[in-house]
Structure 1
Amino acid sequence: MVDFKYLPCLLTCASLICSCYGQDSMGYVLNKLKQFEKDLRHLKQGYHQMKRQLHHVSRLLSDFQNETTVFHDSLLKKAGMSDRENSCDICMREKHQLEKVLQTCDANTANLKSQITTLKETCQSQMSKLTSNVTVSPSTPAPLNVTSTSRTSVSTTTPRPEEEKSRILIAPIWSSTPHQFRQLNIHSNSLSVYQYHTLKQVKCIAYITKTRKLLIGLYNPDKIVSSTLDTRHVTVLREGVETFGMAVDEDRDIVFISTYQPRYSISRMSTQGKDFTAIIDLSKYGSIPRQIALDTKRRRIYGCNTGKLFTVTYDGQGLTTLATGSQVYAVTLDQTAGVLYYGVQKKLMKMTVSNNVSTEVTTLDAVPWNMRLYRGTIYYSSNGSPIVGAVDVTYNTVAYTLQSVSVKGSSTNGMCLIP
C-alpha cells in the first residue's frame, strides 16, 4: 500500500482522543480508521484506472493525428488531380500523342522482327554462296584474280536487308560487239549478267530512282535512250547527242548532260527528253566535258573536262575552275557533308566545297572513269583497266578491287548505281 502523508497526523489525533475519552472510544476510532483505509484503497484504484484511460486516450489522439495527416495529404493529391483534370485538353493531346508513339513503336518492333528474320535468311544464303565458287554465264569472261588488297565484300558491317537489291550496273565503253551489261551485287560482291540489254557502243549510263528507269547514251548513231529497269525495250529521248556524263535532279525532273556533240556544253532536258537546251557553251573552256555531279540544294553542277574541275549554276552562270590536273574524268559529291571527291590520274582527291581546299585521300589501282558515293563508300570504274574498285571513305581510305570485268572490245567500263 502506498503511504498516505496524513496518516501520522490521524494516528496522533486518534491517540489523543483515546487518552481523552478513554477505552470506550478506542473501538470507535479504530473502526473509522479501517473505513478510511478502505476508502483510500478505492481512491488508489480509481487513480490507476484514470491513468490507464488517459494513456488510452493519448494513443487514440496520436492515431487520430496520423489519420488527419493522411487525410490532408489525400486531399492535396486529389486537389492536384483536380487541377490536372481541369487541363483536359492538354491531357487528351498527350494521350493521343502517346497512343501514336505506341502504335509507331509496335509497327517498328514488328518491322524490326521482320528485318531480323530476313537478315538471318540472307546471311545463311550468303554464307552458302561464299562457300561455293561463283560461276558466271559462259557468255561472260571469267573475272581476273583481284589484287592483294581485294576484299570479299564492300563493307565490313553486316548487310542490311534493303541492301540486297543494291547493285552496280557496268557497261563496257566503246565496245562494238553486242554485249550484255554486267551486274555487280554490292551486298555479296558477286558478278552476274544483266540480261535485259545487248546494246553496243555505250558511252554513258545513269539511273532514275523514282521511275526505275535507265538513261543510256549511245554512239553511232548518237542518241540518248531510256528503258525501264528490267526490260529490253528502249525509247529514244534525244538524237544527235553524244555524252560522257549524265546526272539527274529527280525532285525537279531535270537531267543534266555533259555533251561533246553537237558541241562541248552542259545541257538539260526533262526525264522524258523534253525541253532540251544547252545552259552553257564550253567550246572554249577546254577538252571534252566528262562526268558531272549535282548539288540539288544549292542548284549547282560540278563537272570535269580532263584537265579541270569546275562548277556552274543550274542556269549556266558563274563558271568557276576549282582545281586543275591531268586525267580528271570522274567526280562525285557528298552533299550532306559538303565534300567533293574527284580523280586526278590515279589519285583520289577530296575538296571541301565551302572553301575549295583539296587534299589527297588515297592512291587508286587505276585512273577512275566514273565515281558513285553510296553509304560512305566510293565505287569507281576505271579508264583503260577492267577493274571496279571501292574506297571506304567513312572508316578508312584504303582502296581495294571489287571485281575485274573484262569484255571484248573494251578496256574501260562505265557504271551507274542502282540503290
Structure 2
Amino acid sequence: MAEFMCLSWLLTYTSLICFCNCQGSTVSVINRLNQFQEDLLDNKYDLLRMEKRILDIIDVVKISLKAELKVEMWDQVREAMAEILQGESLQDIVKSQINTELRPLKQGYHQMKRQLHHVTRSLKDFQEETTVFHESVLKEAHVGNRENSSDVCVREKQRLRIELQKCDVYTANLKRDIERFIAFNKTNQSQVSQLKTNLAVRSSQTTKHVASTSRTPVLTTPVTTPRTPLPTTPVTTPRPQVEKSRILIAPLGSHTQHQFLQLNIHSNSPSVYQYLNMKKVSAVAYTAKTNKLLIGFDDPHRIVSSTLDTSYVTVLREGVQASGLAVDEARDIVFIATCKPQYSISRMSTQGKDFTTIIDLSKYGGIPRQITLDTRRKRIYGCSGGKLFIVTYDGQGLATLATGNNMFAVTLDQTAGVLYYNNVQKLMKMTVSNNVSTEVTTLTALPWNMILYRGTIYYGGYGSTIVGAVNVTYNTVAYTLQSIRMRRVYYLLLCLIP
C-alpha cells in the first residue's frame, strides 16, 4: 500500500515536471515568433526603402536619357537641314523667294511709270502743238477778216472748232487714262505692301516652324485692272475703245421683278441691263453663235430665249425647271440640269427641238446644279450639293469625282485640263487627267455658280449679293469685285457675254 502511494506521488511530480517543461517551451516559441515578426517588418521597411531608391534612380536615368536624346535629335536635325540647305541659310531662301515674287510687281510698276511719263510728255507736246495751231488759225482768220474774206474766215473758224473739239476729246481721253493709271498705281502699291506683309509673316512662321506655311489673307476691296493700252500717237477719232466683255447678273428665284444688271469686266462698272425685267429666274446661259440668251424659270416651269438688247422672249420648252444650263455651240446642243419634273440631265437644240432626257439622277442624290462641258471629250461635269460628278453626252459612265458640302458651282479650263469647283467656301481645282484635287484659296462668299474668263474666275454669291473674282493664273487671291444691291435678292446668277 505504501508502494502505491509513493508511485502516485512520483507520477504527480513527473506530470508537474513535464507540464513545467512544456510551458517553458511554449513561451520560448512565442518569443521566437514575435522576434521573427519584428524581423519581417524590418525586412519590409528595408524593401520599401530599396524600392524608393530604385525608382529615384530610374527617374534620374530617364531624365538623362531624354536630354541625351534631345541633343542627338537636334544634331540630326541640324545635319539634315544642312544637307537640305546645302550651304544656304533659311533666311537666304526666304529672301530669295520674296525677291522672286516681288520682281514681276516691281517690273510692272516701273513699266507703268514709264508709260505714264510717256503719256504726260505726249500730252504736253500735243497741247503745245494745239496752242501753235490755234494761234496760227486765229491769225489767218484775222488776216482774212481784214481782207474782207468772210467765207474763208467762216470755213477756217468751223475747221478750227472741229479740230478743237477733237483736241478736247483726246485730252479728256488722256486725262481719263492718266486717272486710271494713278488708280492702278495706288492698287499696285497696296498689293505690293500687302504682299510684303504676307511674305514677312510667312518668313517668321517658316523660321519658327520648318514645315509650316502661311495662308494669304483675303482681300475685300474691289480691284480694277485697266486693260486698254495707252495710245502713243495722236488719235484722229474721238470714239474711245471700249471692251465689250461683260457679266450679266440675274437675281435667282426672287418673287419680285428685277431689272437685270451687267458688269463691264474692263472697268468694273455695273449698269442696268434695261431689256430684261423678270422674276423667279433659275438658270441663265449665252450662246454666241446665235447671239441669244437662254433663261430658265421656276414658275411657270419653262425655258425661253431672248436676243441681246431686246425684251422679246421665245418659249423653247414648257414644264421643265432648269437648275443649270450649258451650251455646246459647235454641235448646237443645250444641256439642261433639271430639278422638275425630275432630277436629271436633258438635252435639246438651241431652238428647243429634240428634247430628251439623257440620264435620270433621281436616285443619285441631290439636285443637279451648275454644269459645264468638255466639248473635246464630250463630257459633262456637274455639282449636286454634295458630289462632283461626270457623265458622257449620251448619259453613260456616271461617276463621282469628289464629295463635300454645299457643292454648287463648277467650271472648266479646257485648254489646261483643269476643273474648278467649290467645297463650301473653298475653291478647289482638279486635274482631269488624274482626278487629283487641291485647294486653291478661300472665297469671300459661298458661290452659287462660277465662270472662267481670261484666267480669272468670277462667281455669284449664295446668300450674299456679291460678285467675287479670283485670278487663278497669278496670285489666287479672292477679292470682291462688286457688291450688288437688289431688294429681296439673296442669290446671284452670272452669265458671261464675251
Q: Is the CA contact 1:159–1:187 (under 8 Å) kept in the aligned structure 2?
A: no
How far residue 179 of structure 1 moved from its aligned partner, in angstroms, is 1.2
Structure 2 residue 319 is the aligned partner of structure 1 residue 240: yes
Structure 2 residue 397 is the aligned partner of structure 1 residue 332: no
CA distance in 1, matches of 2:328, 2:172: 36
Determine helix, strand or coil for the equivalent of 1:365.
coil
Matched ranges for 1:110-259 at <5 A: 125=176, 149-153=220-224, 155=225, 158=228, 164-259=243-338
CA distance in 1, matches of 2:181, 2:283: 32
Q: Is the CA contact 1:389–1:399 (under 8 Å) kept in the aligned structure 2?
A: yes
Structure 2 residue 454 is the aligned partner of structure 1 residue 375: yes
How far residue 244 of structure 1 moved from its aligned partner, in angstroms, is 1.4
How far residue 123 of structure 1 moved from its aligned partner, in angstroms, is 7.0
Structure 2 residue 470 is the aligned partner of structure 1 residue 391: yes
How far residue 150 of structure 1 moved from its aligned partner, in angstroms, is 2.0
Q: Is the CA contact 1:152–1:188 (under 8 Å) kept in the aligned structure 2?
A: no
CA distance in 2, matches of 1:196, 1:404: 22
Higher strand share: 1
CA distance in 2, matches of 1:157, 1:305: 36
Match of 1:401 among 459, 462, 480: 480
How far residue 355 of structure 1 moved from its aligned partner, in angstroms, is 0.3
How far residue 401 of structure 1 moved from its aligned partner, in angstroms, is 0.5
Determine helix, strand or coil for the equivalent of 1:221.
coil
Structure 1 counterpart of 2:493, one-letter code:
G
Determine helix, strand or coil for the equivalent of 2:243.
helix
Match of 1:309 among 382, 388, 406: 388
The alpha-carbon distance between structure 1 residues 123 and 239, as it changes in their structure 2 partners (threshold 3 A), is farther
CA distance in 1, matches of 2:304, 2:178: 39
Q: Is the CA contact 2:219–2:478 (under 8 Å) kept in the aligned structure 1?
A: no
The alpha-carbon distance between structure 1 residues 409 and 355, as it changes in their structure 2 partners (threshold 3 A), is same
Structure 2 unmatched ranges of 5 or more: 1-169, 184-217, 231-239
CA distance in 1, matches of 2:171, 2:449: 34
* Alpha-carbon displacement from aligned partner over 1:333-361 (angstroms, at most 9, x marks no partner): 00000000001100000000000000000
Structure 2 residue 436 is the aligned partner of structure 1 residue 357: yes
The alpha-carbon distance between structure 1 residues 278 and 374, as it changes in their structure 2 partners (threshold 3 A), is same
CA distance in 2, matches of 1:377, 1:162: 22
Q: Is the CA contact 2:251–2:489 (under 8 Å) kept in the aligned structure 1?
A: yes
Q: Is the CA contact 1:175–1:408 (under 8 Å) kept in the aligned structure 2?
A: no
Q: Is the CA contact 2:336–2:345 (under 8 Å) kept in the aligned structure 1?
A: yes
How far residue 410 of structure 1 moved from its aligned partner, in angstroms, is 1.3
CA distance in 2, matches of 1:121, 1:231: 32
Structure 2 counterpart of 1:416, one-letter code:
C
Matched-pair identity in %:
67
How far residue 228 of structure 1 moved from its aligned partner, in angstroms, is 0.3
How far residue 299 of structure 1 moved from its aligned partner, in angstroms, is 0.3
Corresponding residue pairs, total: 287
Structure 2 counterpart of 1:202, one-letter code:
V
How far residue 409 of structure 1 moved from its aligned partner, in angstroms, is 1.9
Determine helix, strand or coil for the equivalent of 1:321.
strand
Higher helix share: 2
Runs of 4+ in structure 1 off by over 6 angstroms are: 119-123, 128-132, 159-163
CA distance in 1, matches of 2:175, 2:463: 37
How far residue 159 of structure 1 moved from its aligned partner, in angstroms, is 6.4
Larger Rg, first or second structure (1 or 2): 1
* Alpha-carbon displacement from aligned partner over 1:155-191 (angstroms, at most 9, x marks no partner): 4655699871000000011111111001110000001
For 1:287, the equivalent position in structure 2 comes to: 366
The alpha-carbon distance between structure 1 residues 408 and 336, as it changes in their structure 2 partners (threshold 3 A), is same
How far residue 199 of structure 1 moved from its aligned partner, in angstroms, is 1.0
Match of 2:375 among 291, 296, 299: 296
CA distance in 2, matches of 1:261, 1:125: 50
Structure 1 unmatched ranges of 5 or more: 1-118, 133-146
CA distance in 2, matches of 1:336, 1:220: 38
CA distance in 1, matches of 2:323, 2:260: 17
CA distance in 1, matches of 2:324, 2:486: 21
CA distance in 2, matches of 1:215, 1:360: 32
Match of 1:268 among 347, 368, 377: 347
How far residue 250 of structure 1 moved from its aligned partner, in angstroms, is 0.1
Q: Is the CA contact 2:180–2:226 (under 8 Å) kept in the aligned structure 1?
A: no
CA distance in 2, matches of 1:401, 1:331: 19
Determine helix, strand or coil for the equivalent of 1:204.
strand
* Alpha-carbon displacement from aligned partner over 1:127-156 (angstroms, at most 9, x marks no partner): 668999xxxxxxxxxxxxxx9532331x46
Matched ranges for 1:21-170 at <5 A: 125=176, 149-153=220-224, 155=225, 158=228, 164-170=243-249
Q: Is the CA contact 1:244–1:291 (under 8 Å) kept in the aligned structure 2?
A: yes
Structure 1 counterpart of 2:255, one-letter code:
S
The alpha-carbon distance between structure 1 residues 120 and 340, as it changes in their structure 2 partners (threshold 3 A), is farther
CA distance in 2, matches of 1:305, 1:351: 17
TM (norm. structure 1) is 0.65
For 1:16, the equivalent position in structure 2 comes to: none
